Amino acid sequence: MRTHDDIEEEKAVGQVIDRLAARYPQLPYAHIGDVVRSELRVFDGRPIRTYVPVLVEHEARALLRRETSGHTAG
């Protein structure tokens, strides 16, 4: 059963995906979502989830930055 915290985390992760999609418009939205969800799985089973979306965003941004280095937007 999903808790209030689970729902809030899902919303926060969706916002992470949206922010990264705006930052990396040259990448497909679905790919950014896959990267974020992959980073999220690193935290599966961890009891303290408060900062998980922030940590996930940081790691996903680093991966996407490496993917797009040398590419120009637009």
pLDDT tens track for 40-55: 999 898 888 888 999 9
pLDDT tens track for 15-49: 999 999 999 999 999 999 999 999 999 989 888 88
Confirm whether 41 is domain-assigned: yes
Domain with residue 63: its CATH number is: 1.10.8
Confirm whether 74 is domain-assigned: no
Asked whether residue 70 carries a pLDDT value surpassing 80, the answer given is no
Confirm whether 50 is domain-assigned: yes
What global pTM score does this model have?
0.77
**Structural domain range at position 9:** 4-68
Contacts of 42 (CB under 8 A, 6+ apart): 56, 59
Confirm whether 37 is domain-assigned: yes
Residue pair 70/29 in contact by the 8 Å Cβ criterion? no
Confirm whether 73 is domain-assigned: no
